[in-house]
Structure 1
C-alpha cells in the first residue's frame, strides 16, 4: 500500500466521493470531526490521536499512520509516546495472532480422524 501513497496527490481522488456520495461524505466528515473535536470529550485529544495511531498501525493504513502521527504530535505527543503507541498496537496484533492460533487448533479438531479403540 505504501508504494501507492502520495500524501498530496491522493487527495484529488476525493472528488469521486464528493461527486458520487456527497451525503455519505458529509456524514463521515461530521462524525470524524465530532470524534476528534479538540474540546468537550473525556479523553484528551492527544490520547485520542495516539489511539488512532495505534489502530492505524494495527490495520496498516498508511494514510491513518501519516495523519494521526502528525495530529498526535500537534496535540502534544512526544516521540516516546508515538513509539509506545506503536508497541501497544504491535502487542495487540501479536495477541490476536496468538488467540486466533488457538481458534485454529479448536477448528482443526473437526478434521481429525475419529479415534477407534
Structure 2
C-alpha cells in the first residue's frame, strides 16, 4: 500500500486540479471544510472522522484511511475506536458480499428450466 502513497510528493499533483479546474477544486475544498468543520454539526467531529475512516476502509482508499485515521486521533479517537471503525467497515463489506451473493441465486434461477406455469402458458399458444 505505501508503495504508491507518498504524502508530500502526491500533493504536488494537486496542481493539475488547480490549473485545469480551479473552480471545481475550490467548491470541493469548501464542501469538505464544511462537512468536517470542528463545530456546528450534530455529529461530533471525532465520530464524523471515524465514519470517514470506515468509509475509506470500505472503499479501500488509502488516502482516506491515512487522512481520516490521523484526523480521528487528533479529534480524540483512541486505538480501540479506530479498531471498531475498521470492524464496522469489514462487516459492511462482508454483508454486501452476503447480500449480493443472493443475487447470484436469483439470477441463476433465471437461467434454470422454466417453471411449470411458464411452460403451461407457452403450450397454450
**TM-score (structure 2 length as normaliser):** 0.89
Q: How many residues align?
A: 117
- Runs of 4+ aligned residues of structure 1 deviating over 3 Å after TM superposition are none
Q: Which runs of 5+ in 1 are unaligned?
A: none
Q: Which runs of 5+ in 2 are unaligned?
A: 120-125
1:6-63, CA deviations, whole angstroms, 9 ceiling, x for partnerless residues? 1111000000000000000011000000000000000000000000000000000000
Q: What is the aligned partner in structure 2 of residue 11 from structure 1?
A: 11
**How far apart are residue 115 of structure 1 and its match?**
5.4
Q: What is the aligned partner in structure 2 of residue 51 from structure 1?
A: 51
**How far apart are residue 113 of structure 1 and its match?**
2.7
Q: What is the aligned partner in structure 2 of residue 62 from structure 1?
A: 62
Aligned-residue CA RMSD in angstroms? 1.4
Higher relative contact order (CA 8 A, sep 6+): 1
